[in-house]
Structure formats: structure tokens, C-alpha cells
Amino acid sequence: NAGVTQTPKFRILKIGQSMTLQCTQDMNHNYMYWYRQDPGMGLKLIYYSVGAGITDKGEVPNGYNVSRSTTEDFPLRLELAAPSQTSVYFCASSYHQTGKNQPQHFGDGTRLSIL
């Protein structure tokens, strides 16, 4: 199994450009997450999804959009790139059921620079 796959691995954007970070998982997990990681700040939750067609905001959603049309895919969209969005982005997935905690599995990350 591939687990969680993110593309691209690296990207440089100009201010004001838009792009989509792709994330797909093959573990049939119901929950999926997008995090950003800035140096020394830990992982901040941007958006998450509890299943196909259902998404919700995390701690730092401004400037981002998501969709979840299938169980496998959870793309993250940046509409108007700003320098503050320079970061490493991680997608993760887990199987969640109330009362049963399962670990989150992370993709390898997308390193995004906005200049």
C-alpha cells in the first residue's frame, strides 16, 4: 500500500498565483486532514474532513479551501498565494470511530515557497 501520497513535493509560487496541493490515500480512512508546519511552531490544522462531502475548518483556515468528493482524495486549494503561506504542508488520514482512537498517517509533505 502507498499510504498517503502528496503531490507536488516542492513548489515555488509567485504572490497572487493559485495552486492545488493534491492528497490521496489508499487505506479507506474516513478522516483526512491538512496541516501546515512552520519552523518551531508544530503542526497547525487547516481543514479536515470526516467523510466524502463533509469538510470543516481547523485552526488556520484563512486563505485555503478544500473539497472531498471521494473517500480517497482531499485536495487543498490556495486561491491568492501570499508570502505568509510559505510553509511545509502535510496531509494525513486516519480511521476514526467514536471510542476507538487510531493514529494519523502522514504524507511526505509539500514544501511551498511564495515569492
SS3 99: coil
Name the CA dihedral angle for 105, 91, 52, 67, rounded to a multiple of 10 degrees: 180
Of the residues 24, 85, 109, 112, which one makes contact with another protein according to CB under 8 A: 109
Q: Is 44 in the site for another protein (CB under 8 A)?
A: yes
Q: Is 52 in the site for another protein (CB under 8 A)?
A: no
Least Cα distance to 71 among 21, 27, 105 occurs for 27
How many residues touch another protein under the rule CB under 8 A: the total is 27
- Give least dist CB 73 to another protein, A: 18
Q: Is 33 in the site for another protein (CB under 8 A)?
A: yes
Distances (CA, A) of 28 to 3, 5, 12, 62: 10, 13, 31, 28
Q: Is 47 in the site for another protein (CB under 8 A)?
A: no
Q: Is 115 in the site for another protein (CB under 8 A)?
A: no
Q: How far is 102 from 46, CA to CA, in rounded Å?
A: 20
Binding stretches for another protein (CB under 8 A): 31, 33, 35, 40-45, 48, 50, 58-59, 90, 94, 96, 98-99, 101-109
